[in-house]
């Protein structure tokens, strides 16, 4: 079962003493020229999305709250978090639903809403309708997951370049564009890299 923390970064309130270092400028009246008098300075009250330290701050905050629980489930959940996504595993429908309720409570205690749950167990999905994300397709670490067929789809490139000659640069770009963070098709990618190495050794252009 996968899930998502709603507006995760915006759940972290900044200390008022730190807000001066996260300022940004805004135009008061868009119809007027941009002058110093027409610019206003705002401060973020929450951790902004896109700041390089934001994922670290979110992870540290979540770990802090889960560590307070001191339960085996909280530890397991901590090991299955990636930024604002949580993954739960269970062997039965009842266990799936029980872990859903436990995870919801842990994040509720941290004033966070864990939502968009989706499982490959249809009975579990029926039991959590209010928090279930719609559709049968979701993404795990950028990889497409079809919950009904219970298969992962890794997009391989199928580009028809007609009579255009391929170069080593083109082949390298094609290999680099394959996204497989879990390493599920590493043997295939390894063959492609070996082929590219052979092209270099044979001094093809």
Q: What is the pLDDT of residues 127-184, one digit of tens each?
A: 987 787 778 888 887 888 998 898 988 887 666 666 677 788 888 888 888 888 888 8
How many CB atoms are located within 10 Å of the residue 124 CB? Answer: 23
CA atoms within 13 A on the CB side of 193: 9
What's the burial of 44, exposed, middle or buried (CB within 10 Å: 0-12/13-18/19+)? middle
How would residue 190 be classed by pLDDT, with cut points 50, 70 and 90? Answer: very high
Question: Within 13 A of 93's CA, how many CA atoms are on the CB side?
Answer: 8
Please say whether the beta carbons of 66 and 77 come within 8 A.
yes
Using alpha carbons, list the distances in angstroms from residue 134 to 85, 98, 113, 137, 142: 16, 21, 17, 8, 18
How many residues in total does the chain contain?
Answer: 205
- Note the pLDDT tens digit of each residue in 3-34: 999 999 999 999 999 999 999 999 999 899 99
pTM, 2 dp: 0.74
pLDDT in tens, 97-130: 999 999 999 999 999 999 999 999 999 999 987 7
Radius of gyration of the chain (CA): 24
Question: Tokens 């992962």 map to which residue?
Answer: 152
């Amino acid at each position: 079962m996968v899930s998502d923390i709603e507006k995760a970064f915006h759940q972290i309130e900044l200390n008022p003493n730190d807000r001066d270092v996260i300022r940004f400028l805004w135009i008061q009246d868009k119809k007027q020229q941009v002058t110093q008098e027409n610019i206003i300075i705002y401060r973020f009250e929450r951790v902004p999305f896109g700041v390089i330290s934001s994922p670290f701050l979110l992870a540290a905050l979540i770990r802090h709250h889960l560590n307070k629980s001191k339960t085996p489930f909280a530890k397991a959940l901590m090991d299955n978090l990636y930024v604002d996504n949580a993954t739960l595993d269970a062997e039965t429908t009842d266990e799936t639903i029980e872990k859903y309720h436990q995870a919801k409570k842990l994040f509720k205690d941290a004033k966070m809403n864990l939502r968009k749950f989706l499982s490959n167990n249809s009975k579990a999905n029926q039991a959590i309708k209010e928090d279930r994300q719609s559709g049968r397709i979701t993404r795990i670490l950028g990889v497409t997951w079809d919950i009904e067929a219970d298969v992962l789809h890794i997009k391989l490139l199928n580009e028809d370049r007609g009579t255009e000659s391929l170069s080593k640069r083109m082949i390298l770009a094609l290999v680099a564009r394959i996204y497989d963070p879990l390493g599920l098709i590493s043997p295939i990618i390894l063959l492609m890299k070996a082929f590219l190495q052979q092209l270099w050794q044979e001094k093809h252009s």
